[in-house]
Amino acid sequence: MKNLMKLKYLYKLKEAGVEYFEGFVSEDKKVDMPNELKELEKICKNCTLCDLSKTRTNVVFGEGNPKAKLMFIGEGPGEMEDKTGRPFVGRAGKLLTKIIENVLELTREDVYIANIVKCRPPNNRVPSIEEAESCKPYLLKQIEIINPEILVCLGKTAFMYLLNENLPISRVRGQIFEYKGRKVIPTYHPSFLLRNPSAKKEAYKDFLLIKSML
Ligand code: URA
């Protein structure tokens, strides 16, 4: 990110009452971020760091077990998520819920579900770099607070912004990566599976791997 953008970003963070976000501000400026999920959610729900805040209906912070061992990371809210303020409740969400229940033999309440961006990109477009980078600190803090052992990246956007790796999802899916001592497993996004049912076979393998690691 260019210096000017960075400055603007830091200024906006201050405006939002947030002094420090991991990985962005130098050590000497470090002050405590809320270590409570509820506090973080409050800040996030009032966020105006990027222009997605102008078109959103609701911020979709994330939901599930605040002590989950397994955390799913999607790309960003769609229409239903924007309407309800809840992640993965539309068509793709129904498929994800089915996989959680039928393959992992868990419930949505056992896991935590979040996204790279917390506000819906208009027309479900892929979030821009600026949108993803300005929103990412919320996700990183969620990960720190929830402290899951396994992070499942649903699709390329989640993988790319979590690990700063720009690789096709078909190349990385089903492999085990690492983020700060946690296992990261990328797999196909459920929306992709809805459009490409033949990829479900590979996704099934990925979820069996995830199950075996729990
Ligand atoms: N797609 C996503 O990436 N996230 C959601 O919450 C819903 C659909």
pLDDT of residue 43: 87
Atom of ligand 1 nearest to the CA of 155: 3
Indicate whether residue 169 lines ligand 1 (CB < 6 A). Answer: no
> Ligand 1 centroid vs 65 CA: distance in angstroms?
18
Q: Please, what sign has the CA dihedral across residues 65, 70, 111, 195?
A: positive
How close is the Cα of 131 to the center of ligand 1, in Å? 15
Contacts of 92 (CB under 8 A, 6+ apart): 74, 78, 189, 190, 191, 194
Residue nearest to ligand 1 atom 7, measured at CA: 88
Q: Please say whether the beta carbons of 208 and 103 come within 8 A.
A: yes
pLDDT (tens, 9 = 90+) of the chain, 214 residues, equals: 444 455 455 555 555 555 444 434 334 433 345 779 999 998 899 888 889 999 999 999 999 999 999 999 999 999 999 999 999 999 999 999 999 999 999 999 999 999 999 999 999 999 999 899 889 989 999 999 999 999 999 999 999 999 989 999 999 999 999 999 999 999 999 999 999 999 999 999 999 999 999 9
Q: Which residue is listed with tokens 């700063």?
A: 164
Domain residues for the domain of 195 are 2-213
- Reference 105, options 74, 70, 151; nearest CA is 70
- The CATH number linked to 11 is 3.40.470.10
CA–centroid distance, residue 83 to ligand 1 (Å) = 12
Q: β-strand 177-179 against 182-187: which pairing, if any?
A: antiparallel
Orientation angle between helical segments 3-15 and 129-146, nearest 10 degrees: 50
Check pocket membership of 82 for ligand 1, CB cut-off 6 A: no
**Pocket mutation for ligand 1, best pick of 86, 191, 192, 193 (most atoms within 8 Å of C-beta):** 191
Q: In whole angstroms, what is the distance from residue 80 CA to residue 87 CA?
A: 9
Ligand 1 nearest atom to the CA of residue 60, by list position: 6
How many CB atoms are located within 10 Å of the residue 107 CB?
12
Number of domains in the chain: 1
Helices (H) and strands (E) in the chain, counts: 10, 6
